[in-house]
Chain A
Amino acid sequence: MISNRLKIVLGIFFIFLFSFAKPISDYDIVQQFKKSVSAITVEIRNSTDSTLTNELKLKIDELKQNSIENKALLNNAIYPETFGSVFAKLNKEISQAKTKNILSSNLETVTKEKDSMQVVLIDYSGKITELTNENSSLIGKIRVIKKSMKNDKNAIFKYKRLIEKLKNNVETRNILVASIVDSLFKNMEKSKGGDVKRLSLVRQIDENSIMETIVNSIDGNIAFMKNSSLSQDDLDFVLDEYSKFTKTWKRISIPLTKTYYEGAKSEMILKAINSKLKKWDVTIYSSLWNKLYSRFKEKGIKVKKFKSAKSFNKNLISYIDLKISGKDTKLYKVFRDSVWQQNDVQGWIGFLMDHRKLSKKQVAEIETKISEWNSFDSGEFMNQLIVGGAVLLFLILIVMFFKAKKKKNMIDDSSINYNQSIVSDEDDNSKER
């Protein structure tokens, strides 16, 4: 409860205070307002990040609050503008600044991305070129060594080492190509028709080299396939690489070709690369069929050449049929032991079956034929065994016969001698008498 006296004193004090308050000019109010608006506008246009923009929003609100009591004066003084239109303009400037900041930030990000993409592209492209050149040299050496490799352990060892090196290089190159593609076409599959800005960016920094790189990479993988020993490891490697490559290609093929080419040319390039990929796929299995055929041929099994499961099945069965009908069992063991049951051959057959290039039924039919050949070959053997046995028995009987005869003769001889000795004794006795 404030006393009346105190109220009076306070009242006088405030009146005294306000009497000394500086009178404010309308003109100054308007000028100050205009200055504040101008300063805020400049700050908005110069702002570079969203936090600053938010601070400016607060400043605008503060100015509005502070100026509201002079709204009538300002409306008259700043005609044709109004108090409201000034703040509407400021708010518009703020939202434009925000948009500008976002775009600038995006531009900065895109520029950074572009720079990093360029670095990756240059660095990796260089490495890819080195690997491609090295691989060409390795393939040359492999081809030379293959010719002289038959019984030369040293050459075989060198060949294996070269293949291993080539495989590693092919794998490394595939990884580099995939990295380039990922770097250039990150998240491409998320945009329905391709990110237009991103595509133009890619086009800016990469002048068709990625297309060439992809084509060379496919060719490199095909060359490896043709020159490798096709061990189980090699086959797994080749298929794995093919699978990875085709997955990546599926993801980026359309935006990639559209980046560099338009209309019909884009379709043409797409078709050409798809065709190369098909060739890669075909080469994997054609190389296997070739390897299988070579193995039979090396061992003197003159089966007709096969390139598919159908011809493999047909030609092997007809070969065995021929042997059976001709009662030719000479090569049965070679066929079975030196070719059919070899680990690598069985491995290839298993691989073809796993990848549905050869059916279990087709293999079973061949094995049935082999068994038939086996039983035919066993029958002859049995005959030979029986004949042999009979001959042996006959010989044994002859030997026994002669032995028996000899014994009999010996007994006869010994009994004659005995009789003769008795007779002589009797003579002697008679003489003595």
Chain B
Amino acid sequence: MKKKNFFSVLIILGLLFLVSCSSVVLKPVNYSWALESELSVTNGKIHDIRNGIKMDISSLLKNEFGKMGGDIDKIRMIRNMSGYYFITASTFKNVYVFETGNGKMSLVRKISIDKSGFTNPKFNQRNDYIVFLYNTDKSLKLTEKGILK
């Protein structure tokens, strides 16, 4: 009797586990933005109305410029096909790659571009990668894993 009950419970639990595991999966999903967003920074905050994102980038600025942060007017942001956010700005030295979390964005990679800081940064969406244009005449192919060679 006890064995029977035990097995019944086990089967029931197993079924429950299966049910909870068999969540609906949608794929493939293309998260890419056709165009980068150029966003004004106000008190360390940005608001991308078009894409529906509002966030505080103060910690990003501190990471880039140190404790004092930087005096940045605009940042540029794009999302690649896989859903990673690429963020940078003029006078930055790096391009930051973020992934979304629960009410937050977590840094995945910090791609070093130019140690002296670059100017005129632009992102172009190319599905398989992001083309990063900087210093007027330079370009790099970026993914969430870094620079594509």
Identify the A interface with B (CB < 8 A).
20, 22-23, 25-28, 30, 73, 76-77, 79
Contacts and interface: CB of A to CB of B under 8 A. Distances in A.
A23 B35 contact: no
A28 B137 CA distance: 14
A164 B76 CA distance: 96
A23 B137 contact: yes
A73 B136 contact: no
Interface in B123-141: 123-125, 131, 133, 136-139
A23 B34 contact: no
Given A25-B122, A27-B122, A28-B122, A73 B133 contact: no
A26 B131 CA distance: 10
Nearest to A76: B34
A367 B19 CA distance: 135
Contact of B136 (A22, A30, A77, A79): A22
Contacts of B36: 26-27
Contacts of B123: 26-27
Interface of B: 34-36, 38, 76, 122-125, 131, 133, 136-139
B139 A77 contact: no
Contacts of A30: 35
Contacts of A20: 137
Contacts of A77: 34-35
Given A25-B124, A27-B76, A79-B34, 12 more contacts: A22-B136, A23-B131, A23-B139, A25-B122, A25-B133, A26-B34, A26-B35, A26-B123, A26-B125, A27-B36, A27-B124, A77-B34
A79 B131 CA distance: 22
A73 B34 contact: yes
21 contacts: A20-B137, A22-B136, A23-B131, A23-B133, A23-B137, A25-B124, A26-B34, A26-B35, A26-B122, A26-B123, A26-B124, A27-B36, A27-B38, A27-B76, A27-B122, A27-B123, A27-B124, A30-B35, A73-B35, A76-B34, A79-B34
A25 B35 CA distance: 10
Nearest to B137: A22
Q: Which label, helix, strand, loop or mixed, suits the secondary structure of the A interface?
A: helix
A307 B104 CA distance: 114
A23 B35 CA distance: 16
A28 B34 CA distance: 13
A77 B78 CA distance: 12
Nearest to B36: A27
Contacts of B139: 23
B49 to A, nearest CB: 13
Contacts of A79: 34
A25 B123 CA distance: 7
A165 to B, nearest CB: 86
B81 to A, nearest CB: 13
B125 to A, nearest CB: 7
A399 to B, nearest CB: 151
A77 B51 CA distance: 11
A28 B76 CA distance: 13
Contacts of B34: 26, 73, 76-77, 79
B34 to A, nearest CB: 3
A72 to B, nearest CB: 8
Interface centre among A22, A26, A73, A76 (most CB of B within 10 A): A26
Contacts of B133: 23, 25
Nearest to A28: B122
Contacts of A23: 131, 133, 137-139
